[in-house]
Amino acid sequence: MDSAMPPTAANRAPRDTLPDPRRWWGLAVIALAQLMVVLDMTIVNIALPSAQADLGISDANRQWVVTAYTLAFGGLLLLGGRVGDLIGRRRALIIGLIGFAGASALGGVATTGGMLLAARGLQGVFAALLAPAALSLVSVTFTEPHERARAFGIYGAIAGGGSAIGLISGGLLTEYLNWRWCLLVNAPIAIIAVIGASTFLHDRRRDSETRLDVVGAVLASGGLLSVVYGLSEAQQRGWTSAFVLSLLAGGLVLLALFVVAEGHVAHPLLPMRVLRDRNRAGALLSVGLVTVGMFGMFLFLTYYLQVTLGYSPVRTGLAFLPLTAGMMTGAVGIASRLLPRVPARLIMTPGLLVAATGLVLLTRIQVDSSYATHVLPSLLLLGLGMGATFMPAMSTATFGVAPRDAGVASAMVNTSQQVGGSIGIALLNTVATSATASYLATHGTSQLAMATGVVHGFSVAIWWAVGFLLAAAVLASVLITARPAAPTVVEVPQERVPALV
């Protein structure tokens, strides 16, 4: 005779409070979508020389193959996040995936340089829609502290290691197939993600009276576009260029007007309540400073391995595998286990110091340095530190946000990454170029001096990256004061508890 009591109104948990048993499959779909967005920021870098030769793109215009994507992506993120809040995050994710797949296919079959640039811009537009939707879906799906920590550990590892995976994939596809596959590969990935999103993801969006803030959208998008464009042009024209300074100043003015306007509209694009939380502000600033150093490091190390050490594209991509392994370990193996019990700042601060140590070791590279003794230890430390940083930072930046603001809060995380990356590439590349020029002015322009001067420039720029990581460590330790969330107990009806045999 079964002695189990029948479920009653007193012991039955409401159906909509029970966690979705398929939520981990949903996380796999979200991670796949995020990986596609992140790796596309680097996968084209290795394929760029082949694409340039095939389509006859000039040296002056080749940068736009990368810039067209980052410009649209960074400039439209806030708008994309708010659109996701209005139409539903799952719907925004699916629309973004379909559009991203179509734009990728268009770029893969491009017959002219202009067609490729247009396709890259469209990729950025749809990435700005799906990236905030992906992160906000993680935030609203996983609310129990231990599950949330594990979910953000996986997501943080993907977000942090996706750039390295892009380098590996770009090398393999370019060397063994064709540069076009660096774009075409996104189509089948997106199709799988769309099917998975339709099957496993659910967005409990409630009807609201929120409307799109058109004035805010124009000011924010215009300001971000101007700033990102100015940062990208600084790499080519220099920081003292009147054109660059005009773009940066104009962008800052538009963003200032945006902040003022948001305080006077009923349904703001970026409610200031999202930024008033000191923990969220600290997490966003830390992420932005970290990506300044990370993107610069990827650029310099890629050139060092291929140009200085003579690595092939495939070997260069494989050389970054320890970084990806370190990030997975730091995010999933360390941070996700500690976050439910340890304050985020006590994970992020040591992680940033470990990553900074890895960069310090990387400043010791020489023209004839060994990968095993100089590069490998740096990548392992950098990966561990970044994994332990990104995971709690993303969780902190999106924790406690009202459901109606989840998309825009997630967009702010992506925006801090994108703007930080643009600053890193422009600023650190300028620092490296100036240091190389100073070295050559002193030591002459022989072949050995030129090779040594380039490596010297890389080392000087990496020291700047160390400074940004240390600044992020200080901000994280001072601003982020949140304590671990208390575990959430969900009462499960007895008829849904599996019997133990």
Q: Count the Cβ atoms, other than its own, within 10 Å of residue 181.
A: 18
pLDDT digits (tens, 9 = 90+) for 110-164: 999 889 989 998 998 998 888 888 877 777 777 677 777 777 777 766 665 666 6
pLDDT at 489: 39
Q: Are 425 and 293 in contact (CB under 8 A)?
A: no
Give yes or no for a contact between 298 and 420, defined as CB atoms under 8 angstroms apart.
Answer: no
Looking at residue 15, its pLDDT comes to 44
Flag whether the pTM goes above 0.85.
no
Comparing CA positions, the residue from 442, 435, 475, 441 lying closest to residue 459 is 435
Cα dihedral sign, 445-446-449-454:
positive
Residue 207 pLDDT more than 60?
no
Structure tokens at 441: 């002015």
Decide if 150 contacts 312 (C-beta within 8 A): no
Is the alpha carbon torsion for 35, 28, 194, 182 positive or negative? positive
* Placement of tokens 């009923």 in the chain: 266
Q: How far apart are CA 459 and CA 479, in angstroms?
A: 30
Structural tokens at position 153: 């550990």
Classify burial at 188, counting beta carbons within 10 Å of its beta carbon; exposed 0-12, middle 13-18, buried 19 or more: exposed
Separation in Å, CA 429 to CA 59, 241, 292, 319, 379: 17, 16, 11, 22, 20
Cα–Cα nearest to 346, from 472, 160, 151, 476 = 476
Least confident of 310-319, 345-354, 387-396: 310-319
Token pair of 237 as six digits: 């024209």
What residues have CB less than 8 Å from 483, skipping those under 6 apart? Answer: 343
Q: How far is CA 97 from CA 92, 103, 413, in A?
A: 8, 10, 19
Q: What does the pLDDT average to over 339-347? A: 86
Q: Where does the pLDDT of residue 216 fall: very low under 50, low under 70, confident under 90, or very high at 90 and above? A: confident
* Cα separation, 379 vs 308, whole angstroms: 18
The secondary structure of residue 332, as a DSSP letter, is I
d(CA 54, CA 48): 10
- Return the closest-CA partner of residue 394 out of 190, 131, 17: 131
Q: What percent of the chain has pLDDT over 90?
A: 15
Residue 315 scores a pLDDT above 60? yes
Q: How many CB atoms lie within 10 A of CB 373?
A: 10
d(CA 363, CA 469): 14
8 Å CB contact between 135 and 284 = no
Residue 488 has pLDDT above 50, yes or no: no
Work out the number of other CB atoms within 10 angstroms of the CB of residue 394: 27
